[in-house]
């Protein structure tokens, strides 16, 4: 019996399967189009009777077999169509009636900024943990890309965060939108040795089924294109069935180490922010030398909902029962959470099961905990602040104070390099010393005024933080 359908994102629905293909790529590179092409090829569809697994401009309605909680953006070009991980099962004559588990992931290098990519990386790692074994990782890049722009270099690095050493021999490079001629995408840009490299012109969804049925000339032209795509998909399938499956247990370790790094960056952000405030207070003649405004955590009688990623107070005096650990759906019921809705008609919202996000920090339930404390701004003496930072305080000489603060900042930054050594045992391309520089360039390229305003409310912009963090990059020395 032939079938192709989306499945609910829970481990019990994944099994059984014979081969698992993970699809990664940068935003706007055609991952969703690749998924649509793969499924239609597997079902032996032709122009005029295409089915839609992922909506697009000409195919806005998803077929019933694929309409499971699609948290996706609308059709605007240049943005990722996929905002969460989606899973598809396929078993047809094309696959020799072997069951393929096809995993579609969010596009990295999001124009919304580094913080959005952090969320996407978390979701990709989380999905890999849930899947018992993976046979191949297909990375989608554009055939026409002709230069290593800062945004591409950054996005390629983010791929390094989700492909550990044990899976480097599972990578297939697929170049999309091939219009003929040699590819402009250079192998030297790609951070992995690929087991197979293919090019395909996956543009068959340029026209609707109605156009194909009414215009035989266009239908004939694009039938040739889908046949060429079929040959490429066949190449990929033949390669995948000859690739041994790899257990995903290493992803759990990668996820834990990645979380340690992200939490340390978040903690360091607060320290750097406080140091900057102190330096400003010292150098500003309107302030007394022995005082500065700093962020501290004040003990509270009742528990509050706190974001562990951004150290923000998301809901003061939370009514939920106390929960001291993060990583669960528990805080979906907190007042700070709201339903992410993409429906045009809010009166008939169909997003009931979609992910809830915090209206304060933008994170999901998993990034929240209860704490009997909250962040507040206080005027402290320099001596008190130094004690909090474990810095010896012996003088009020501004030059010496500033020197000690700079030394502390350097110490704080260099500690992150210690995490890199541990991480590289698992994932050798995960080099945070390089990441900060690339993230800074990406953040500057996609400067979103709306996101920037949110950052300013937090007291320090992400760009400013990464300017500081990039100073530990050995390439900058």
pLDDT, tens digit, 9 for 90 and up, residues 150-169: 888 888 999 888 999 999 99
Same domain, 334 and 271: no
Q: Is a pLDDT exceeding 70 seen at residue 363?
A: yes
Same domain, 409 and 266: yes
Long-range contacts of 112-118 (CB under 8 A, 24+ apart): 112/446, 112/448, 112/451, 113/442, 113/443, 113/446, 113/448, 113/451, 113/462, 114/439, 114/442, 114/443, 114/462, 114/466, 115/362, 115/451, 115/462, 117/158, 118/262, 118/309
Highest mean pLDDT among 58-72, 264-278, 346-360 belongs to 58-72
Amino acid 100: pLDDT: 97
Q: Can you give the C-alpha Rg of the chain in angstroms?
A: 25
d(CA 254, CA 168): 14
Instruction: Give mean pLDDT, residues 43-67.
Output: 90
Q: Is the pLDDT of residue 269 over 90?
A: no
Do 175 and 208 lie in a common domain? yes
Alpha carbon distance 281, 291 (integer Å): 7
Confidence of residue 452 (pLDDT cuts 50, 70, 90): very low
Residues near 25 by beta carbon (within 8 Å), at least 6 away in sequence:
31, 105, 107, 108, 139, 140, 141
What is the Cα–Cα distance from 402 to 458, expressed in whole angstroms? 24
Q: Are residues 271 and 316 in the same domain?
A: no
**Residue 203: pLDDT above 90?**
no
> Could you give the angle at which helices 462-469 and 398-426 cross, rounded to 10 degrees?
80
Interval 368-389 mean pLDDT: 77
Question: Cβ distance 270 to 388 under 8 Å?
Answer: no
Number of structural domains (the chain) is: 3
283 shares a domain with 300: no
CB atoms within 10 A of CB 15: 10
For residues 89 and 179, membership in a common domain is answered with: yes
Q: Which tokens is 395 given?
A: 């003088």
Domain end call among 191, 223, 247: 247
Residues 127/9, Cβ–Cβ less than 8 Å: yes
Same domain assignment for residues 102 and 197 = yes
Top pLDDT among 399 and 267 is at 399
User: What is the pLDDT, as a whole number, of residue 95?
Assistant: 95
Higher pLDDT, 219 or 84: 219
Q: Which domain holds residue 437?
A: 248-287+396-477
* Whether residue 400 is found in the same domain as residue 421: yes
> Mean pLDDT over residues 232-259, rounded?
92
Compute the average pLDDT of residues 282-286: 63
Domain at 61, CATH number: 3.40.50.300
**What is the pLDDT, as a whole number, of residue 282?**
67
Confirm if 4 and 65 have CB atoms less than 8 A apart: yes
Q: What is the mean pLDDT of the chain?
A: 80
Give residue-wise pLDDT tens across range 305-333: 998 877 889 999 998 887 777 777 889 88
Give the integer Cα–Cα distance in Å for 477 and 466: 16
Tell me what the mean pLDDT of segment 99-124 comes to.
Answer: 84
Q: Would you say 21 and 31 are in contact if contact means Cβ atoms under 8 Å apart?
A: no
Among 327, 357, 391, the domain boundary falls at 391
| E strand residue ranges, 216-284 | 246-247
**What's the pLDDT at 471?**
66
> What pLDDT sits at residue 454?
36
- d(C-alpha 8, C-alpha 65), whole Å: 11
Q: Do 387 and 403 reside in the same domain of the chain?
A: no
First to last CA, the chain: 62
Contact in structure between 54 and 82 (CB atoms under 8 Å): yes
61-70, 285-294, 406-415: range with lowest mean pLDDT: 285-294
Higher pLDDT, 112 or 344: 112
In a shared domain, residues 349 and 468: no
Among 391, 415, 438, identify where a domain stops: 391
Number of residues written out for the chain: 477
Please indicate, yes or no, whether residues 274 and 296 belong to a single structural domain of this protein: no
282, 293 Cβ separation under 8 angstroms: no
Question: Among 139-148, 184-193, 403-412, whose mean pLDDT is lowest?
Answer: 403-412
Q: What is the per-residue pLDDT for 453?
A: 33
pLDDT at residue number 78: 38
Tell me what pLDDT residue 84 has: 76
More confident residue, 45 or 260: 45
Q: Is the peptide bond before 280 cis (omega within 30 degrees of 0)?
A: no
Whether 31 and 103 map to the same domain: the answer is yes
Average pLDDT over residues 424-449: 76
């Amino acid at each position: 019996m032939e079938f192709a359908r989306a499945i609910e994102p829970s481990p019990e629905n994944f099994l059984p399967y014979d081969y698992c293909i993970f699809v990664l790529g940068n935003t706007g590179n055609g991952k969703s189009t690749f998924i649509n092409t793969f499924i239609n090829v597997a079902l032996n569809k032709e122009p005029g009777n295409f089915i839609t697994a992922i909506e697009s401009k000409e195919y806005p309605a998803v077929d019933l077999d694929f309409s499971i909680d699609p948290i996706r953006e609308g059709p605007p070009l240049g943005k990722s169509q996929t905002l969460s991980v989606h899973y598809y099962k396929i078993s047809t004559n094309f696959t020799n009636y072997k069951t393929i588990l096809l995993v579609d992931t969010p596009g990295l290098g999001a124009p919304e900024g580094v913080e959005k990519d952090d969320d996407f990386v978390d979701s990709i790692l989380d999905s890999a943990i849930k899947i018992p074994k993976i046979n191949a990782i297909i990375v989608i890049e554009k055939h026409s890309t002709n230069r290593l722009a800062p945004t591409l270099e950054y996005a390629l690095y983010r791929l390094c965060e989700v492909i550990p050493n044990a899976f480097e021999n599972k990578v297939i490079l697929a170049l999309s939108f091939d219009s003929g001629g040699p590819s402009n995408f250079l192998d030297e840009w790609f951070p992995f040795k690929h087991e197979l490299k293919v090019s395909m012109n996956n543009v068959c969804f340029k026209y609707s089924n109605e156009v194909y049925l009414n215009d035989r000339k266009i239908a004939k032209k694009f039938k040739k294109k889908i046949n060429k795509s079929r040959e490429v998909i066949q190449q990929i399938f033949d390669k995948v069935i000859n690739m041994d499956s790899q257990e995903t247990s290493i992803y759990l370790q990668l996820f834990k180490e990645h979380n340690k790094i992200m939490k340390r960056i978040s903690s360091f952000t607060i320290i750097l922010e406080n140091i900057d405030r102190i330096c400003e207070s010292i150098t500003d003649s309107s302030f007394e030398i022995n005082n500065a405004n700093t962020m501290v955590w004040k003990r509270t009688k009742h528990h509050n909902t706190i974001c562990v990623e951004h150290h923000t107070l998301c809901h003061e005096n939370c009514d939920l029962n106390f929960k001291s650990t993060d990583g669960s759906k528990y805080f979906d019921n907190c007042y700070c959470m709201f339903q992410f809705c993409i429906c045009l008609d809010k009166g008939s919202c169909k997003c009931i099961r979609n992910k809830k996000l915090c209206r304060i920090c933008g994170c999901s339930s998993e990034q929240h905990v209860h704490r009997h404390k909250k962040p507040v701004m206080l005027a402290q003496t320099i001596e008190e602040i130094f004690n909090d930072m474990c810095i010896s305080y012996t003088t009020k000489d501004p030059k010496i104070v500033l020197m000690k603060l700079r030394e502390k900042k350097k110490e704080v930054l260099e500690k992150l390099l210690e995490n890199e050594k541990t991480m590289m045992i698992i994932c050798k391309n995960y080099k945070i010393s390089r990441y900060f520089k690339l993230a800074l360039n990406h953040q500057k390229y996609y400067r979103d005024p709306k996101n920037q305003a949110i950052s300013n409310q937090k007291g320090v912009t992400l760009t400013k933080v990464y300017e500081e963090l990039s100073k530990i990059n050995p390439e900058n020395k």
